Amino acid sequence: RKRVAVLISGTGSNMEALIKETSSSSVAQIVLVISDKAKAGGLNIAKNYNIQTQIVEKRSNETREMHEERIHSLLIAAGIDIVCLAGYMRILTEFLVNNWRGKLLNIHPSLLPSFPGVRSQKQALEKGVKFSGCTVHFVEVEVDAGAIIEQGIVSIKADDQEEDLIERIKSVEHQIYPKALKLVASEKVKLDLQTGKLIYI
């Protein structure tokens, strides 16, 4: 089984979905949760599942690379094979991306390449699109731009508020993220490091 770390900053509902859906998986197990926020709600959820947690807040006197080096050291020490970003609200530098390229996944709450960046659900409502969704992709240095592993669709209703769409998309996120992780962990899907595209085995 591939050893998986999940990086969070907040609630951790995707992290919980990954923990639950891999608990009986033969290909992946969540063994470490790292948060860059000491108050992230997801830390308590992880502890309830008896999963090791670490808080790695960015110190004001360190660069983003130095902060990532501390995270990287923990990942190496724990023998991690795959890293899942799940509501980790920091843009990674080349340091972490290059060290983990092809083994680093992210979930984003829109149908990429539409609505990258922050508050994607609000962006979708403002554009007036009738469908949105979520995307699991490999992480590249360019934000929200790596090869797409899985996507899920939700309908947008005329009276939807941002919160409604956030919740409706999240319920689909919880389905596609475990599915994408299992595809990568089982090596049915790989990132071609040369072309940046997916290879199906």
The residues assigned a catalytic role are 108
Tokens representing 33? 């949760």
Of residues 167, 201, 160, the one with CA closest to residue 184: 201
Gyration radius (Cα) of the chain, Å? 16
Shortest Å distance, C-beta 151 to ligand GAR:
12
Q: Of the listed pieces 8-16, 147-155, 178-186, 188-196, which binds ligand GAR according to CB under 6 A?
A: 8-16
Answer for which of 5, 6, 12, 21 binds ligand GAR (CB under 6 A) is 12
Residue 173 touches ligand GAR, criterion: CB under 6 A: yes
Shortest Å distance, C-beta 42 to ligand GAR:
6
Answer for which of 4, 46, 86, 176 binds ligand GAR (CB under 6 A) is 86
Residue pair 115/123 in contact (Cβ under 8 Å)? The answer is yes
| Cβ-based neighbours of 33, under 8 Å, separated by 6 or more | 5, 6, 7, 8, 12, 15, 42, 43, 46, 51, 52, 53, 54
Residues recorded for the chain: 201
Shortest Å distance, C-beta 106 to ligand GAR:
7
Answer for which of 37, 67, 108, 168 binds ligand GAR (CB under 6 A) is 108
Tokens representing 160? 């939807």
Residue 87 touches ligand GAR, criterion: CB under 6 A: yes
Binding site for ligand GAR (CB under 6 A): 8, 10-14, 42, 86-87, 107-109, 170, 173
